[in-house]
Amino acid sequence: MDMRLINYINWSLLTCMVLLYLLGIGNLYSASTTRLETGFMFSDFYQRQLVWGLCGIVCMLAAMSFDYRRLRNLAWPLFLVSIVLLLLVSVMGKTVYGARRWLSLGFMSIQPSEMTKLALLLLAARLLARDQRPLGWKDFLTVLGIGLAPCLLIVMQPDLGTAIMLLLLLGGMILYRGLHGHVLKFCLLAAPCAAAFMWIAGLRDYQRQRILTFLDPGNDPRGAGYHILQSRIAIGSGELWGKGFQGGTQSQLRFLPERHSDFAMAVFGEEWGFVGCVALITLFCFFLFSIFSTVIQAKDRFGSLLAVGVFFYFFWQIFINIGMVIGLMPVVGIPLPFISYGGSATLLNFTLLGIVLNVSMRRFMFKG
Over residues 106-132, the pLDDT tens digits come to 766 778 888 899 999 999 999 999 888
pLDDT, the chain, mean: 84
Amino acid of residue 64: M
b/e 50-69 (16+ beta carbons within 10 angstroms → b): eebbeebbebbeebbeeebb
Stretch (H or E) spanning 8: none
71-74 CB contacts, 8 Å cutoff, 24+ apart: 71/122, 71/125, 71/126, 71/306, 71/355, 72/126, 72/302, 74/122
Full-model pTM: 0.89
Residues with Cβ < 8 Å from 42, sequence gap 6 or more?
A: 32, 33, 34
Torsion (CA) 114, 118, 119, 125 in degrees, nearest 10: 150
Which range of 96-105, 204-213, 313-322 scores highest in mean pLDDT? It is: 313-322
Q: How many CB atoms lie within 10 A of CB 259?
A: 30
Alpha helices for the chain (secondary structure H): 11-31, 45-64, 71-92, 112-128, 137-155, 160-177, 181-197, 205-215, 226-237, 249-252, 264-297, 301-325, 343-361
Assign 368 a pLDDT band (cuts: 50, 70, 90): very low
Residues with Cβ < 8 Å from 236, sequence gap 6 or more?
A: none
Weakest-pLDDT range from 22-26, 178-182, 200-204: 200-204
Whether 250 has a pLDDT exceeding 50, the answer reads yes
Assign 213 a pLDDT band (cuts: 50, 70, 90): low
Question: What percent of the chain stands above pLDDT 90?
Answer: 39
Q: Does residue 304 sit in helix, strand or coil?
A: helix
Q: What is the pLDDT of residue 341?
A: 86
d(CA 254, CA 91): 35
CA 164 to mean position of chain CA atoms: 11
Kindly state the average pLDDT of the residues 201-219: 66
Assign 34 a pLDDT band (cuts: 50, 70, 90): low
Q: Is residue 48 within 8 Å of residue 108, measured between CB atoms?
A: no
CA 257, 32, 111, 91 torsion: positive or negative? Answer: negative
Distances (CA, A) of 331 to 203, 250, 328: 14, 18, 9
d(CA 235, CA 196): 33
Kindly state the average pLDDT of the residues 215-220: 62
Compute φ and ψ for 207, nearest 5 degrees: -70, -40
Q: Is residue 316 within 8 Å of residue 172, measured between CB atoms?
A: yes
Question: What percent of the chain stands above pLDDT 70?
Answer: 86
Question: Kind of pairing, strands 39-42 and 33-36?
Answer: antiparallel
Could you state, in order of their start, the residue ranges of all structural domains in the chain? 3-72+180-361
d(CA 220, CA 113): 31
* DSSP 8-class letter at 368: -
Distances (CA, A) of 338 to 11, 152, 258, 364: 18, 27, 15, 30
Residues with Cβ < 8 Å from 277, sequence gap 6 or more?
A: 235, 238, 265, 268, 269
Furthest CA-CA distance within the chain: 67
Q: Is residue 119 within 8 Å of residue 79, measured between CB atoms?
A: yes
Kindly state the average pLDDT of the residues 127-141: 87
Assign 54 a pLDDT band (cuts: 50, 70, 90): very high
Question: Kind of pairing, strands 99-104 and 94-96?
Answer: antiparallel
Weakest-pLDDT range from 130-144, 200-214, 249-263, 272-286: 200-214
Kindly state the average pLDDT of the residues 194-205: 72
